[in-house]
Homo-oligomer: A and B are copies of this chain.
């Protein structure tokens, strides 16, 4: 019995929002499991036992679906991390929380992250996605830079090229995805701790 307010749903028929969400999830699964090139609409539909037409009905096209995938993952990541980052009593602690929270998210949402990577890698084949990604990345770097700028302004951190540092750190965090995909034994938690330590040294006066 579904927690479905309507109560009476001819099997396979879901509300608009629920269907879209279900399809986005299936897309994530297929992207993560088989890669971008193998992510045909038929594969996504097959994943949840519906016909291709359903996807076309609920999304304007494949591009819109993939945009939705990207939006979904980025939003989920933001929601997941926000509470884990807030409430730091110092900039140093904020920086550490940021790093650790990011890697913890990667650790617990591997499929989403791999799916995201696959779509981003093919951004040019998917109109709209490039922009979403660019905005998101800019935001992420800006947020990180804000912490660094704050720490520097407060005299807690040493003088730093904050933008370059933000980009470099952001890249190091993202690199964990690659490392994790290439090496099954790669430990995200250890990497996160050491990265936090490393950048702790970087910012120390």
Q: Could you list which residues of chain A lie within 8 angstroms of chain B, going by C-beta atoms?
A: 34-38, 117-118, 120-125, 134, 137-138, 158, 160-161, 164-165, 167-172, 174-175, 178-179, 182, 190-191, 194-195, 197-198, 201-202
Smallest CB–CB gap between A70 and chain B, Å?
15
Nearest-neighbor residue (CB-CB) of A197 within chain B: B161
The 7 closest A-B pairs by CB, nearest first: A121-B121, A171-B175, A35-B124, A37-B125, A168-B172, A164-B194, A161-B194
Instruction: Give this chain's copy count.
Output: 4
Complexed CA–CA distance, A57 and B181 (Å): 35
Instruction: Tell which of B34, B138, B175, B201 touches A202, judged by Cβ atoms closer than 8 Å.
Output: B201
Q: Is the interface of A mostly helix, strand, loop or mixed?
A: helix
Complexed CA–CA distance, A178 and B138 (Å): 11
B202 touches A122 (CB 8 A): no
Complexed CA–CA distance, A97 and B172 (Å): 20
A198 touches B121 (CB 8 A): no
A198 and B161 in contact (CB under 8 A), knowing A124-B38, A125-B37, A175-B174? yes
Nearest-neighbor residue (CB-CB) of A133 within chain B: B182
A182 and B137 in contact (CB under 8 A), knowing A168-B195, A198-B165? yes
Complexed CA–CA distance, A118 and B37 (Å): 12
User: Mind listing 27 A-B residue pairs with CB under 8 Å?
Assistant: A35-B123, A36-B121, A37-B124, A37-B125, A121-B121, A121-B122, A134-B182, A137-B178, A137-B182, A138-B182, A160-B198, A161-B194, A161-B197, A164-B190, A164-B191, A165-B194, A165-B198, A167-B191, A168-B168, A168-B169, A168-B195, A171-B171, A171-B172, A171-B174, A172-B172, A174-B175, A201-B202
